[in-house]
Chain A
């Protein structure tokens, strides 16, 4: 497998008033082109810190982050900016990640403006195309973020992330704040975009049941380390690490015939 994104022995720690917190303790990951890798863990396991390191928002202590072969760790801000178009992110709360005073078309077009791609007319046309692609009506472009529902705001966030034609999307809990019917719409949209555009997703979540339905591979993160990794359905059916086992046993299965604490058996039910 030729990895598109490759993380090697990454460490990241913080100084706090109570001493050093070692949030990421030697993580290695590979993301192949067109693949969805889910990074699953509970709060405080270090998954968001890992994502921030990959996005260049947090400086790791040591290790490598390679995108298409080039190491991003240690690059200056100016050098790092060249790689931005290839790796974009979608956040959990689409409202707090969208500037409330800007119109939706401006928000979606902004990355194109910043990177100076195309003429103004081309950027506007590209913006309408993106809106249509993610299921938003292009004539809604003059509206502001607060005029949209949570699911529509997440579509705006996705359109904005796609504007620079990235090959990797880092999705940090993109559907955890959404209702289940809206979650299904957004997950299916991500699936379609991946099928049509060959995107790779690093999908960060606490929801192992969701990614069993959606991801190709799962990496289980616990106390700053990847403790188990494998195909999504294999992890569910046959978890090896005690943490994965206890997590699956704790997930309530939406089937009254599957008693609490026997989630692994649900697969064959």
Chain B
């Protein structure tokens, strides 16, 4: 059997100045060709750090402590910046939350998209420019030849994100990492961008690693979902199964806390809370990191951090199906 497109195995990342502080505590994820894997979780769970690791863009002050990342079976040299430059943009495309941060305000759109092609391929400038116009048309921008001549500030937020997607796809990558790609956009624009990503995926066969906090988007576009909490993957399942019968108490809490239409009951609090707060990276906590917030925790949870076994990392996985609108 062919190797998975991307395989992250037991990835550990810590703070260089603090040997005890680990931000990614052994994350394993696999993405097959053409599929969409959503990684969800709240701020600080390590979902963005996981995607930055894949691209070899670990922030200053952090260090890889262990684990491997394989791309088509070969180990990704994520600490070798020169080697990663040849892979980023060509084999792995990236789309981030804030399109304006990914675009240089002093160059035209055409120059910036062409630069990606010229960086990775031996083509003439004129050929690159012709491909740019095709790409801009492909991501649904009207009058692409004109847009290629414009500077980023002339475009709306949604148009800018389309340009960033065109840049990410310029060299026909196999994997697109989309880290909160629509979080800064209005919801109507978000729907257009997500539809575009799905269309491009279908036509080009790219795999998408979608990093998001938005469970609505996950439900609509992901094939599989990995839920992260405090630097670990706590549950992974096919999308339908995860939403119908979440097993980890944190996944259940997250779904219960998410607003959805028609669940309101008169005289009751509008939403279901998860009590407490996420532990900080430097907080030393034995056993399961979710334990202080968990209604199902037992003695073993305080001493043994549960290993990930097939579906969940939990000593007491829950098996009762969720009935929509009813909180268990």
The residues of A with any CB-CB pair to B shorter than 8 Å are 42-43, 149-152, 179-185, 187-188, 191-192, 206-210, 212-214, 233, 236, 246-247, 249-261, 263, 266-269
Q: Which residues of A have CB within 8 Å of B274?
A: 181, 184
CA distance A150 to B269 in the complex (A): 21
With a CB–CB cut-off of 8 A, which chain A residues contact B264?
212-214, 233
Q: B226 to nearest A CB, angstroms?
A: 16
- Judging by beta carbons under 8 Å apart, are A42 and B188 in contact? yes
Chain B contacts to A: CB under 8 angstroms: 42-43, 186-188, 190-191, 194-195, 213-221, 239-240, 243, 253-255, 257-264, 269-274, 277-278, 324
Q: A187-B271, A213-B270, A253-B220 are in contact. Are A179 and B42 (CB under 8 A)?
A: yes
B219 x A184 contact (CB < 8 A): no
Most-contacted residue by chain A among B191, B239, B324 (CB, 10 A): B191
Q: Are B262 and A268 in contact, with the CB atoms below 8 A?
A: yes
Q: Is the CB of B243 within 8 A of A254?
A: yes
Number of A-B contacts (CB under 8 A): 131
Q: In the assembled complex, which residues on chain B have CB atoms less than 8 Å from the CB atom of A252?
A: 190-191, 194, 214, 216-217, 219-220
B186 adjacent to A206 (CB under 8 Å):
yes
Residues in A whose Cβ lies below 8 Å from that of B254: 180-181
The answer, among A183, A184, A233, A253, for a CB contact under 8 Å with B216, is A253
Interface residue from B194, B214, B243, B273 paired with A256 (Cβ < 8 Å): B243
- Do B273 and A188 touch (CB < 8 A)? yes
**Known contacts A181-B257, A212-B264, A213-B259; is-contact A254 B215 (Cβ 8 Å):** yes
Q: Are A260 and B191 in contact (CB under 8 A)?
A: yes
Nearest to A209 among chain B residues (CB) is B259
The DSSP consensus for interface residues of chain A is: helix
A181 to B42, CA, bound (A): 8
What residue of chain A has the Cβ atom nearest to residue B293's Cβ? Answer: A181
Closest-by-CB residue of B relative to A249 is: B191
B269 touches A254 (CB 8 A): no
CB distance from A84 to the nearest CB of B (A): 29
Q: Are B216 and A179 in contact (CB under 8 A)?
A: no
Q: Return 12 A-B CB contacts under 8 Å, by A number.
A: A42-B187, A180-B42, A209-B260, A214-B259, A236-B262, A252-B214, A252-B217, A254-B216, A254-B243, A254-B258, A256-B239, A258-B219
Task: Please indicate the chain A residues that have their CB under 8 angstroms from the CB of B272 in the complex.
Answer: 184
- Taking the closest CB of chain B, its distance from the CB of A191, in whole angstroms, is 6
Q: Tell me if A181 and B220 are in contact (CB < 8 A).
A: no
Indicate which residue in A181, A210, A256 contacts B219 across the interface (CB closer than 8 Å).
Answer: A256
Nearest residue, chain A, Cβ from B182: A252
Q: How far is the CB of B276 from chain A (nearest CB, A)?
A: 9
User: B129: shortest Cβ distance to chain A, in Å?
Assistant: 31
Contact yes or no, A267 B273, CB < 8 A: no
Instruction: Across the A-B interface, give the 7 residue pairs with the lowest CB-CB distance, nearest first.
Output: A252-B216, A184-B271, A179-B42, A250-B191, A184-B257, A181-B274, A42-B186
